[in-house]
């Protein structure tokens, strides 16, 4: 009887956490778990850069068709974005007492690296390149004794992608197309406490996978100064093979005592997640040689994250039996609205600004502290300056405000109020040979 009660109490929590093993996820800057911070110029313009007007080599991520607008020769970019997400939770309102808990401070470095070569043949522009970036990622950390410790303590997930790409421009680059292959490595490291009669073991999870997918882009310039761009990144079907271990301490060094280790046995498990497709569109107009403005609309296929089926080779509470836990997520496809501009103050100095509104892709009742999603407003600004004829430095700042989200009728029995925000600073250096 005690064994059955332990199983019933542990299974929903374990399912939630292992579910996160299968999402190569997010911090606090895009709906769901998508990351966009892969170039300082793009971030300064609110990521409204899909038309590729005035682009740098980071266009390989945002719209690879823009590679044909680079100058002839070899272009390189290296950069880093520092991201500091924060969140608080007040509740749970469906129990007493309630309290406000702040997520632990945890800064995340997001590197980006690009290389591209462009040339021309008989009026046709051809460019090829490769980019390295982190399109999906997440990191949250809560105190090990907080009221939601059975839902989330520490989450660190990322997907690193290498993206070789080729682009071709026709009719003096009035039309350009591009395509590429994405090679992604996903990894996850998660921790939570398992509810029990007295002792609450720590559940530690690790898993990884490698996958190949593709992307494409298009830019047209119907009249001089007006550019229309669209880019597509295909979904990435990740199959995570992981391992679950149970310990008495967060560091994972103290094994469970006799009795508990018979109920919660270390062992393999796994699940799959179809990371969403991404469509980026933008229309820009160059009002003069000095000033351009772009409005954009992104659309992300979050509906691929609808249900998680988690496989256990050693079922928690009954380790002699394999089993599957089903965890509904019910995400839905959502848009992001963007606007950004760039002003050439001098021949060597540019000023940029932007904003975006990101629609949350999940109902409030499915929100959890591992992924405290909300509608978000982003404000961005930055500058670019030529250090010399070949070297350019770009710096940008972003602030994101998550609209307060009240959860009632939580599917995790964890009602309450989430507030979230984030700060980010990005630096990129570009060199043209």
Residue 14 has pLDDT above 60, yes or no: no
**Preceding omega of 228 cis (within 30 degrees of 0):** no
Q: Count up the domains in the chain and report the number.
A: 1
CATH number at residue 269: 2.40.160.60
Point out the least confidently predicted range of 63-72, 185-194, 397-406.
185-194
Please report which confidence band the pLDDT of residue 115 belongs to, taking 50, 70 and 90 as the band edges.
very high
Alpha-carbon distance of 292 to 107, in angstroms, equals 33
Residues in the chain: 433
Per the structure block, which two tokens stand in for 270? 């796994």
Alpha-carbon distance of 339 to 337, in angstroms, equals 7
Point out the least confidently predicted range of 23-32, 45-54, 75-84, 265-274.
23-32
Please name the residue that has the structure tokens 């990884």: 208
Coil vs helix vs strand at 213: strand
Radius of gyration over every alpha carbon of the chain, rounded to an integer in angstroms: 23
Alpha-carbon distance of 53 to 352, in angstroms, equals 13
Identify the H or E element spanning 2: helix 2-21
CB-CB contact of 361 with 300 (8 Å): yes
pTM assigned to the model: 0.87
CB-CB contact of 53 with 65 (8 Å): no
Residue 207, pLDDT score = 81
Instruction: Provide the residue range defining the domain that includes 231.
Output: 2-432
Residue 30 has pLDDT above 50, yes or no: no
Coil vs helix vs strand at 65: helix
Q: Which tens digits make up the pLDDT trace of 275-321?
A: 899 999 999 999 999 999 999 999 999 888 776 666 767 766 667 77
Residue 25, pLDDT score = 36
Between the two ends of the chain, the Cα-to-Cα distance in Å is 72
- Overall average pLDDT of the 14-42 stretch: 58
């Amino acid at each position: 009887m005690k064994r059955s009660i332990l199983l019933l109490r542990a299974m929903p929590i374990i399912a939630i956490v292992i579910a996160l093993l299968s999402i190569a996820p997010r911090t606090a800057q895009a709906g769901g778990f998508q990351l966009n911070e892969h170039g300082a110029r793009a971030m300064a313009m609110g990521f409204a850069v899909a038309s590729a007007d005035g682009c740098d080599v980071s266009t390989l991520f945002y719209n690879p068709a823009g590679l044909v607008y680079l100058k002839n020769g070899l272009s390189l970019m290296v950069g880093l974005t520092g991201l500091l997400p924060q969140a608080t939770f007040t509740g749970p309102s469906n129990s007493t007492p309630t309290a406000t808990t702040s997520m632990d401070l945890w800064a995340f470095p997001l590197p980006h690296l690009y290389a591209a070569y462009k040339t021309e043949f008989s009026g046709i522009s051809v460019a090829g390149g490769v980019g390295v970036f982190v399109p999906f990622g997440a990191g949250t950390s809560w105190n090990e004794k907080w009221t939601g410790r059975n839902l989330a303590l520490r989450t660190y997930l990322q997907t690193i992608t290498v993206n070789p790409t080729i682009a071709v421009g026709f009719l003096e680059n009035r039309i350009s197309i591009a395509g590429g292959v994405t090679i992604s490595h996903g990894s996850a490291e998660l921790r939570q406490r398992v509810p029990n009669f007295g002792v609450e073991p720590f559940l530690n999870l690790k898993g990884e996978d490698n996958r190949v997918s593709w992307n494409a882009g298009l830019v047209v310039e119907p009249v001089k100064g007006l550019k229309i761009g669209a880019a597509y990144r295909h979904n990435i079907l990740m199959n995570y093979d992981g391992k679950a271990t149970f310990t008495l301490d967060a560091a994972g060094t103290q094994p469970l005592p006799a009795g508990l280790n018979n109920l919660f046995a270390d062992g393999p498990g796994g699940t799959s997640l179809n990371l969403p497709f991404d469509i980026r569109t933008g229309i820009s107009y160059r009002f003069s040689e000095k000033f351009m403005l772009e409005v954009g609309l992104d659309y992300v296929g979050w509906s691929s994250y609808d249900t998680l089926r988690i496989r256990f080779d050693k079922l928690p509470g009954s380790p002699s039996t394999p089993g599957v836990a089903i965890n509904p997520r019910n995400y839905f496809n959502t848009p992001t609205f963007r606007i950004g501009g760039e002003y050439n103050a001098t021949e060597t100095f540019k000023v940029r600004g932007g904003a975006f509104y990101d629609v949350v892709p999940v109902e409030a009742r499915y929100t959890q502290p591992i992924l405290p999603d909300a509608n978000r407003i982003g404000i961005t600004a930055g500058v670019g300056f030529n250090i010399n004829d070949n070297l350019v430095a770009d710096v940008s700042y972003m602030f994101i405000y998550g609209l307060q989200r009240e959860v009632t009728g939580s599917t995790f029995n964890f009602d309450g109020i989430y507030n979230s925000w984030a700060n980010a600073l990005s630096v990129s250096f570009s060199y043209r040979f």
